Amino acid sequence: MADCNDWFRTGLEHIWLPYAQMKTQPGPAPIVSTSGARLEMADGSTLIDGVGSWWTSVHGYNHPTLLKAAHEQLETMPHVMLGGLAHEQAYRLAARLAEIAPGDLYKTFFTESGSVAVEVAMKVAVQYAMNLAGERRTRFVSFKGGYHGDTFATMSVCDPEEGMHSLFSGVVPDQYVVDLPDTDDRTAVIEKLLSSHNDIAAVLVEPLIQGAGGMRMHSPETLKALREACDRHGVLLIFDEIFTGFGRTGAMFAADRAGVIPDIMCLGKALTGGITPLAATIASRKVYEAFHTDSVDHALMHGPTFTGHAIGCAVANAGLDLFETKPRLEQVNTIEAQLTERLMPLSKLPQVADVRVCGAVAAVEFADEFDVSAARSWFIERGTFIRPLGRVVYLTPAYVIEQKDLATLTGAISEFADTVR
């Protein structure tokens, strides 16, 4: 404990924390070890984790299969660059992603963060139109409530007001950020939008669930309508599955659950098993072929230093092994049933505006604002790590969470609902 106080207090003076007004926000909880769906705090107490380290640790923390893959790769060859050199893990992973990705998505570009995976998708979409027809299609359609990252290009496609980047309107490029037309007139609304502009490179959407924007869910019909409209207008459709990919919605990809195949798909978060940073942008054959020509100008000029990081790819391959050998999607379905049973009844409370469940995601949206910082501390005092987003209290547990631990999380949310009146 003396030890922890030392690094924690000294470091807190110098570390700049994510999404935090550091002057007013309560300090974070120091964690010294992890296992399964649990976090051990420096004072020896345990937190049941309802978040999974920003939705990454779907197999649980310290999974032996993932640790072994990381160790073995580290000992033989931590990494070599992909420019001019090749290593097995990135190549194996690209081939396996092509195998499991929907439709003919088959060509993967690796990055180290989801934001950059979305940047690559956007760059590919703009260059696709240039390569194919010399057209300048430079703008994107994206949706209110959406979140695609924190870099400059991705800020421009996030929700402009409710997102975290409202200060930057006018600084980032102007896009068509519109209401998600999850309504009966969806076909007409989308048609009107796409037919009134000829500078649209792609439509970018988080399929089925907008994660960071508050776990907002929409119907597969909306994605089908987007697909059809994009096809009519020669516009690409990009699915940002960084949150929804790898079983989160109950199917391997939200695209599978919705029955809609995008032209480009972005992956991250659960791809990593929560261990090392890695993200991927996967293009369809049609998209890739516009780059695969005799012209050097048609090449994709992109190459992060650690593209295809060997340890990250080794862990991701081991994660795919777990999806093949463990009943991950059944586990998600069991979680979905338990979340539904435990949390849906809260929708009857007057202080609750909405309860939503899809796969291993549950959101309880309150009618009124509450003190989010105080709520976060309240959950920690009850042995749970739950981080509300605005008025939304959500759970995105590891797929391996034990039933009784999940019951503790849902119980804490029920108890919390009683305090919000």
Work out which of 145, 163, 181, 211 binds ligand PLP, going by CB under 6 A. Answer: 211
> What is the enclosing helix (H) or strand (E) of 54?
helix 52-55
CB of 116 to ligand PLP, least distance (A): 7
Catalytic annotation present for 147 = yes
Q: Which of 372, 371, 148 is nearest to 265 (CA)?
A: 148
- The upper half-sphere exposure of residue 130, i.e. CA atoms within 13 Å in the direction of its Cβ, equals 15
Report which residue type is found at 139. R
Work out which of 66, 90, 97, 118 binds ligand PLP, going by CB under 6 A. Answer: 118
Looking at 359-402, list the stretches that DSSP marks H as alpha helix, in order from N- to C-terminal side.
Answer: 372-381
Q: Which of 107, 147, 416, 39 is nearest to 263 (CA)?
A: 107
Neighbours of 188 (CB within 10 A): 13
Contact between 276 and ligand PLP by CB under 6 A: the answer reads no
Report in angstroms the alpha-carbon separations of 189 from 57, 193, 201, 226, 363: 38, 6, 18, 10, 28
Query: CA-to-CA distance for 243 and 239, rounded, in angstroms?
Result: 11
Using the rule CB under 6 A, give the single segment among 14-22, 108-116, 128-136, 366-374 that binds ligand PLP. Answer: 108-116
Catalytic annotation present for 184 = no
Say whether 27 sits in a helix, a strand or coil. Answer: coil
Work out which of 49, 119, 159, 206 binds ligand PLP, going by CB under 6 A. Answer: 206
Per-residue x/- marks for ligand PLP, 173-202, CB under 6 A? ------------------------------
CB of 5 to ligand PLP, least distance (A): 30
Per-residue x/- marks for ligand PLP, 230-269, CB under 6 A? ----------x-xx------------------------xx
**CA 13, chain centre distance (Å):** 30
CB of 277 to ligand PLP, least distance (A): 7
Catalytic annotation present for 240 = yes
DSSP state of 108: E
CB of 200 to ligand PLP, least distance (A): 20
Catalytic annotation present for 269 = yes
- Tokens representing 156 are 């421009």
Site residues, ligand PLP (CB under 6 A):
113-115, 118, 147-149, 206, 211-212, 240, 242-243, 268-269, 279
Active site residues: 19, 147, 240, 269
